[in-house]
Structure 1
Amino acid sequence: MRPDLGRHQGRGVRKQRGLTQNELAAAIGRTSSWLSQVERGIQPVNRLDVMRLLADGLGVPLQVLQPDAPIAPEPGPVEDITPNDLDQARLVISGHPALDVLLSPREDFRPETLSELRAGVDRVWDLTHGDQFAELSAALGPLMPRLERASRTAADEHRSELHLLLARTYQALASAFVRQNEADAAWVAADRAIREAEQSDEPLGMFAGIYRLAHAFVRLKHLDQAEHAAATAISALQRHIEQTDPRPQELSVLGSPHLTLALVHARAGERAAARQQIAEARAVAQQLNEDRNDFNLEFGPTNVEIQAVSTAVELSDAGEVLDIGTDLDTTGLSIERQARLLMDLGRAHAQRRHFGDALDYLLQAEEIAPEMIRSHIAARDTIRELMLVAGRSASPELRALAERADAMP
């Protein structure tokens, strides 16, 4: 694919539509400076999904901008909708789960149930990290109201821990909603996580909630809000750490929003800024010198490299993805992190037109985290692109994967 083909057509179509660069950039979730560089030929567009994003923003078929792009068949009567297993979880957060307790305050919490609630929250995170969203949704149905009621009816000595358990649960839900492209619900869950963490007297939990909130903003394409949330968290933590001997938990929480900013800049096409944030995260990880999972953030040297891979694939730097990620040992991290690396390696091979290798990595990711491949937009887009390029010569393995992921073109 020649990246220079679409830039002049795109500029002409934009002007015909009466759109300014600012208006089109906002519509597709990019910055006006990135769009200006694309139209002037400074910033190449090598990825089919980015070219399709431009075409959608302009309201024209992809072939207007990229004449040699594969032509997708007309969709059938059933719309292509990303599968969602979190409908029950949406209902759980749709309203207040403990209104009757507010009307009739009473102490009916039994302290002996604390261990059971702790185990329930741990299981919620196991399901979240494993991309087992249907099971997660079912588990939250009874757990969330119990935690909400307990935090209001327990004696003072137990309330701080119960609020922290609630914060962890809402953080898990926010993470799951982001990965299932339910960003509006992720925003609600992250906001509640921040509130509960503040009531738990654990300020670092608030920063973890802000991290989840920033990712909801990224999914909503509100990159300015995501950048503000992450940068504010970094600034506050940095000032605190400079005045004290930082604890490992504080370094872990500090490094995570740097990775968020790397994603924000990558989505905006701001290559230098994205790389700078990865470098900042690497410096924090080097100071930490171990992989940790404080507040389920999985921050450490290994996860920084996984995020460096994700940033590089967003920037279409497929060679860098393969240099960093091919021999990276992720066995100590969650299934979700392991599968994410495999998926991004598959995406990088697809960018380099190594279609056999791309399929192999996507199949490996599906083997350990099938729901990620079924629900992740980037994975589905990559599979669909492989199918479009292969056409009638698509292998049985690729065709079966596309059918399982609901990614048939």
Structure 2
Amino acid sequence: MSPEERRAFGARVAQLRKGRGMSQDQLAAAINRTASWVSQVERGVQPVVRLDVLQLLASGLGVSIQALRPDAPGSTGPESAPSDQSNDLDLARLSLSGHPALDALLADRPREGAPDLAQLAADVEQLWQLTHDARFAELSLTITEVLPRLERAARTTGGGTYEIHLLLSQAYQAVAAAFVRQDEADAAWVAADRAIRAAEQSGQPLHVFASIYRLAHVFVRLRRLDQADHTAGGAVTALRTHMSATNPTPETLSVLGSLHLVLALAAARGGQREQARKEIANAREVAAQLGEDRNDFNLEFGPTNVEIQAVSTAIDLGDAGEALDLGQRINAEHLSPERRSRLLIDLGRAHAQRRHVGEAIDCLLQAEELAPESIRTHVAARATIRELILVAGRSAPSELVKLAKRANATG
């Protein structure tokens, strides 16, 4: 932005703020910035180029990005996915709507024999594999077949109900994880809540905690950061109290470390720099005690995943240089395509923050090659692509323009 453009933009921000009867202090509080930052923006000193910051400012003023800056692309904030657009998980959303097995509640229906637990377990494993591979369209279709069978079996089977409830919890955890990744937080909330209930009925307490981890991620996505902190923090306290009296298992450490990571995410999204770094340090300590990368409860927790989350946390805190330094030291080849793709997306975000357009494009293209649906459905990835288009302007490289079209990030 030129000095004239910054001054014109700042005048527009001041006009909209005053029109809403807000002081600079009130606007600053609404967007987790300082009054000094708002003052600098309005005076044309502080440029606002990044689309996520534009979205944040527009949300605080109660207007669209276009009302704030008419030449900007469409809204790209974390909560701005249009509700009228189709989604790869639309079928899965329908499967969660209403009661999952009404006919099984009828009193005159006979109880059925034991289901094929091995087949149901294989079906749930497939749900998780599709989730880890970010193959959301295929996952959605599979969910419509697997969930009704599990829900029906839980209500009509004479034996093996504990095992069925455990499989049901695992299935809903996969669904919740997928919905969070596609920015469908309301559906993810339903799935996580059902996962918690089924895990408790299974008699497997650590699965309850793993489901709570999924719920905490829902609250982060909804920007209900106090609820995320309360949910994950309460689980951490309970686990640590339990661990003080017993020798923790690797599974317990995996859940505990993952909960510290979601607490770090919530703190970073809330701009709580010291708390975010503290939680990353706590997770590193747990990962060191664990000593290896594991996939207990499909959490993919271990030393590598902690560093991946440290990269994401640094980006959320605006420390792009630190994020890139951390990313260069990570070897994530043994992790799932979704997790490796997420790391590349985050590195692309960091390069975009530093205005390294070529490097950012390269990271995003690698992420797309690993998990194409992640790029098309990941809100931060699309926001980064739009930001790069905005920064590059008419000189945007052809590969970036093509990527934006494939990711539906052109408007």
Q: Pick one of 122, 125, 144 that aligns with 1:122.
A: 125
Paired residue for 2:78?
none
Contact 1:121 1:168 (8 Å CA) reproduced = yes
Within-5 A mapping of 1:200-219: 200-219=202-221
Within-5 A mapping of 1:357-368: 357-368=359-370
- Equivalenced residue count is 396
Residues 323 and 95 (structure 1 numbering): CA distance in 2 closer, same or farther, change over 3 Å? same
Q: Partner amino acid for 1:292?
A: R
**Counterpart Cα distance in 2 of 1:74 and 1:134:** 25
1:319 matched to 2:299: no
The alignment's C-alpha RMSD in Å is: 2.9
Contact 1:83 1:374 (8 Å CA) reproduced = no
Unaligned segments of structure 2, at least 5 residues: 41-45, 76-81
Judge which range, 17-26 or 264-273, deviates more.
17-26
1:260 matched to 2:262: yes
**Counterpart Cα distance in 1 of 2:267 and 2:39:** 20
Within-5 A mapping of 1:341-356: 341-356=343-358
Paired residue for 1:238?
240
Residues 47 and 281 (structure 1 numbering): CA distance in 2 closer, same or farther, change over 3 Å? farther
**Counterpart Cα distance in 1 of 2:200 and 2:66:** 51
Q: Partner amino acid for 2:383?
A: D
Q: Partner amino acid for 1:248?
A: P
What per-residue deviation string (whole Å, max 9, x for no partner) do you get for residues 165-212 of structure 1?
000000111111111111111100000000000000000111111111
Judge which range, 142-151 or 102-111, deviates more.
102-111
Paired residue for 2:136?
133
Within-5 A mapping of 1:265-344: 265-344=267-346
**Counterpart Cα distance in 2 of 1:98 and 1:402:** 41
Paired residue for 1:94?
97
Q: CA deviation at 1:257?
A: 1.2
Residues 187 and 150 (structure 1 numbering): CA distance in 2 closer, same or farther, change over 3 Å? same
Paired residue for 1:407?
409
Paired residue for 1:172?
174
Q: Partner amino acid for 2:57?
A: L
Judge which range, 160-169 or 100-109, deviates more.
100-109
User: Percent identity over the alignment?
Assistant: 60
Q: TM-score, normalised by structure 2?
A: 0.88
Paired residue for 2:79?
none
Unaligned segments of structure 1, at least 5 residues: none
Q: Pick one of 362, 373, 376 that aligns with 1:374.
A: 376
Q: Partner amino acid for 1:154?
A: T
Judge which range, 14-23 or 176-185, deviates more.
14-23
Residues 264 and 11 (structure 1 numbering): CA distance in 2 closer, same or farther, change over 3 Å? farther
SS at match of 1:131: coil
Q: CA deviation at 1:149?
A: 1.1
SS at match of 1:244: coil
Paired residue for 2:55?
52
**Counterpart Cα distance in 2 of 1:220 and 1:188:** 13
**Counterpart Cα distance in 1 of 2:127 and 2:74:** 40
Residues 46 and 202 (structure 1 numbering): CA distance in 2 closer, same or farther, change over 3 Å? farther
Residues 20 and 96 (structure 1 numbering): CA distance in 2 closer, same or farther, change over 3 Å? farther
Paired residue for 1:108?
112
What per-residue deviation string (whole Å, max 9, x for no partner) do you get for residues 79-137 of structure 1?
797651111111111111222211135331334x1111111000000001111111011
Paired residue for 2:223?
221
Q: Pick one of 249, 257, 263 that aligns with 2:251.
A: 249
Contact 1:46 1:316 (8 Å CA) reproduced = no
Q: CA deviation at 1:17?
A: 1.3
Q: CA deviation at 1:378?
A: 0.7
Residues 37 and 63 (structure 1 numbering): CA distance in 2 closer, same or farther, change over 3 Å? farther
Q: Partner amino acid for 1:53?
A: L
Contact 1:83 1:375 (8 Å CA) reproduced = no
Q: CA deviation at 1:46?
A: 7.8
Judge which range, 128-137 or 192-201, deviates more.
128-137
Residues 149 and 64 (structure 1 numbering): CA distance in 2 closer, same or farther, change over 3 Å? closer
Residues 20 and 267 (structure 1 numbering): CA distance in 2 closer, same or farther, change over 3 Å? farther
